[in-house]
A and B are shown apart, each in its own frame.
Chain A
Amino acid sequence: MEGLLSFPRPNLLGVVSFLVDTGADTSIIGPPDAVRIGVQEDQLTEKAESFGIGGKISCSIEPAVLIFRDDSGAAHFYARTVQIMPLRRRDMAALPSLLGRDVLDHWRVTYDPQVSLLEIDIHSADRTLKPPTIL
C-alpha cells in the first residue's frame, strides 16, 4: 500500500510502500524508508518502547501526516505520531514500514490472497482533499 509520508517539523516528504499490519497498534517506519527520505536519528529526541515477538525495542517517535489516494482522486490525510525503527541496527536495516491500526481502523480492508486482492474502502480521514470538479 503506497502512501505519502510527511514529517512537517523537519520538512521531509516521501512516498512509502507500507506493509498492511492489522497486528500493529501504530504505524512504524522502517530504516530503508526513513533513511531514504532524510530522517536523521540524531534529530529525533522522543522515544517510545515497542513490544513484538522479537522482544522490546526503543523506537523514535515523530508527528507525521500519512496521505493516501482513492480511485476518485481524493487524497486522505491522517495526522499521527508514527514510530521510527532504530536506524543503525544491522538486523533491522531492511525491515519494511508497517501501516498499523492507527490508520487501518478508519478503513474497511478486504484481503483475498487467492485472487491477489487487497481492497481498501476509506470510511474516514482527518482531512480529505477532493480533486477539482470539471463542470
Chain B
Amino acid sequence: MSASQLIAEAMQQVGSPESIRQDLEEFRESALALSSDHPRLIDEYREEWVAVHRGEVVAHGRTMAAVLKQVDAAGLPRSKIVVRFITEDPRTLIL
C-alpha cells in the first residue's frame, strides 16, 4: 500500500480536523490528570494498572488485560483512554 493510499484510509478513519481536535484534547485531559494526580494515584492504586477517561479513573486492576476488560464492559472507547501502570519505583529509561 502506498503512502498516499495509507493516508487516504487514515483520513477516512479520523474524520474532520474538528473530530481530531476533540480526540486529542480529551486524551490530553486524561494524561494531565494522570500526571497531576500521581501522588494520590500511588496511594490508591499502587502497583496496579489504571485506565483514565475524561480525567477520571474508570478502571483499575492487577493486569492490563483485566483493566481493558472493565473498559470494554463499560462501553468506553479504548482509543481515547489512557492506561498506565502506577508505581512509586522510579524507572530509569535509557532509550
> Which residues of A line the B interface, CB within 8 A?
2-4, 6, 8-9, 11, 13-15, 17, 19, 21, 23-24, 32, 35-38, 52-54, 63-65, 67, 69, 73-75, 77, 79, 93-96, 98, 126-127, 129-132
Q: Are A63 and B85 in contact (CB under 8 A)?
A: no
Q: Are B23 and A4 in contact (CB under 8 A)?
A: yes
Q: Are A67 and B20 in contact (CB under 8 A)?
A: yes
In the complex, which of the residues A17, A23, A65, A129 contacts B27, with contact meaning CB atoms closer than 8 Å? A17
- Range, interface on chain B: 20 to 34
Identity of the chain B residue whose Cβ is nearest the Cβ of A100 in the assembled complex: B95
Q: Are A8 and B13 in contact (CB under 8 A)?
A: yes
What are some 15 contacts across the A-B interface (CB < 8 A)? A4-B14, A8-B5, A15-B80, A17-B27, A21-B95, A24-B95, A32-B85, A36-B81, A69-B17, A69-B24, A75-B14, A77-B11, A95-B93, A126-B7, A127-B4
Query: Which residues does chain B contribute within 8 Å of A67, judged by CB atoms?
Result: 10, 14, 20
B1-34: which residues lie under 8 A (CB-CB) from chain A?
Answer: 1, 3-7, 9-11, 13-14, 17-18, 20-21, 23-24, 26-28, 31
Q: Are B17 and A15 in contact (CB under 8 A)?
A: no
Query: Which residues does chain A contribute within 8 Å of B83, judged by CB atoms?
Result: 32, 36
Q: Are A15 and B21 in contact (CB under 8 A)?
A: no
Cβ-based interface call for B41 (8 A): no
> Which residues of B line the A interface, CB within 8 A?
1, 3-7, 9-11, 13-14, 17-18, 20-21, 23-24, 26-28, 31, 64, 68, 78-85, 93-95
Q: Are A35 and B64 in contact (CB under 8 A)?
A: yes
> In angstroms, how far is the closest chain A Cβ from the Cβ of B74?
14
Q: Are A38 and B14 in contact (CB under 8 A)?
A: no
Q: Are A65 and B10 in contact (CB under 8 A)?
A: yes
In the complex, which of the residues A2, A36, A37, A75 contacts B17, with contact meaning CB atoms closer than 8 Å? A75
- In the bound assembly, the distance between CA atoms of A46 and B49 in angstroms comes to 29
Q: Are B79 and A13 in contact (CB under 8 A)?
A: yes
In the complex, which of the residues A15, A21, A77 contacts B23, with contact meaning CB atoms closer than 8 Å? A15
